[in-house]
Amino acid sequence: MTPRKQPEADLERRRSSFMLMGILCALALTLVAFEWTAFEKSAGDLGQLQMDFLEEEVIPPSATPPPPPPPPPAPTTVLEIVEDEKKIEQVDVIDTEVDQETNVQTFEAPEEKVEEEQIFTIVEKMPTFPGGEKEMFKFLAKVQEYPQMAVDAGIQGTVYVTFVVDKDGKVKDIKVLRGLGGGLDEAAVRMVSKMPPWEPGMQRGKPVKVQYNLPVRFTLK
């Protein structure tokens, strides 16, 4: 069998040459790699840091208020200069100092004693209604007021009233000693207050105040 390649194109013959060239290239690359100098970048090649310094704001101190104005000067006392030729009248100065030996006179006003007039219950001459006791009961029957409340409730009886006959015979200080209610107590007081002046009571020939008790009867018809 005859070979198909031509002798000029046969690469097996040049294998050793190619191997030698490869070894040489590998050694060259190795030397270049070891001899390569790595240059570090200088600091100048790096970017410069720009810092903007902020100016600090200066705060002015707070303004202090102005001091208050000074007080007005005290009024000066004008001294009157007296010439030697003028005579000054002598003024007597009274010593007003008081010590333990000084006698101080005190004046005490006499106390006014207010004597309350005595109200008698029994006197030499008792007060009397004008015309006597019979006329008094006629008067009470004439001015009698029977409250409707007492009529509806069927209340009847006697209300005991006390009062004072003054020195001029007027009736005052009317009070109920014992009442019945139903408006009869108030009616009895009103009846007595309408009485005319009495003849005052007498004690040692002088009119005096006398307390008088009176029963006022209320009867339903």
> What pLDDT shows up at residue 52?
52
Query: Is 157 domain-assigned?
Result: yes
Measured between alpha carbons, how far is 84 from 17 in angstroms, rounded to an integer? 157
User: Is residue 38 pLDDT above 70, yes or no?
Assistant: no
Query: Is 54 domain-assigned?
Result: no
Query: Is 167 domain-assigned?
Result: yes
At 194, the pLDDT band (50, 70, 90 cuts) reads very high
> What pLDDT shows up at residue 99?
61
Greatest mean pLDDT range, 9-13, 111-115, 173-177: 173-177
Query: Is 184 domain-assigned?
Result: yes
Among candidate residues 184, 185, 183, 182, the one with its CA nearest the CA of residue 174: 185
> What pLDDT shows up at residue 20?
83
At 115, the pLDDT band (50, 70, 90 cuts) reads low
Q: How many CB atoms lie within 10 A of CB 45?
A: 7
Query: Is 44 domain-assigned?
Result: no
Q: How many CB atoms lie within 10 A of CB 33?
A: 8
> What pLDDT shows up at residue 6?
60
CB 121 within 8 A of CB 209: no
CA distances from 192 to 13, 135, 212 (A): 176, 13, 11
Mean pLDDT, rounded, for 33-38: 67
> What pLDDT shows up at residue 43?
45
Q: How many domains does the chain have?
A: 1
Question: Tell me, what CATH number does 183's domain have?
Answer: 3.30.2420
Q: What is the pLDDT of residues 41-89, one digit of tens each?
A: 444 444 555 555 455 555 555 556 677 777 777 666 666 665 655 555 5
pLDDT, the chain, mean: 77
The domain of 139 spans: 119-218
Q: What is the CA radius of gyration of the chain?
A: 71
Residue 145: how many CA atoms within 13 Å on its side-chain side?
Answer: 15
Strands (E), 55-97: none
Query: Is 191 domain-assigned?
Result: yes
Beta-sheet pairing, 206-218 with 157-165:
antiparallel
Query: Is 2 domain-assigned?
Result: no
User: Is residue 159 pLDDT above 50, yes or no?
Assistant: yes
> What pLDDT shows up at residue 68?
76
CB 209 within 8 A of CB 202: no
CB 189 within 8 A of CB 176: yes
At 15, the pLDDT band (50, 70, 90 cuts) reads confident
> What pLDDT shows up at residue 186?
94
> What pLDDT shows up at residue 36?
66
Query: Is 210 domain-assigned?
Result: yes
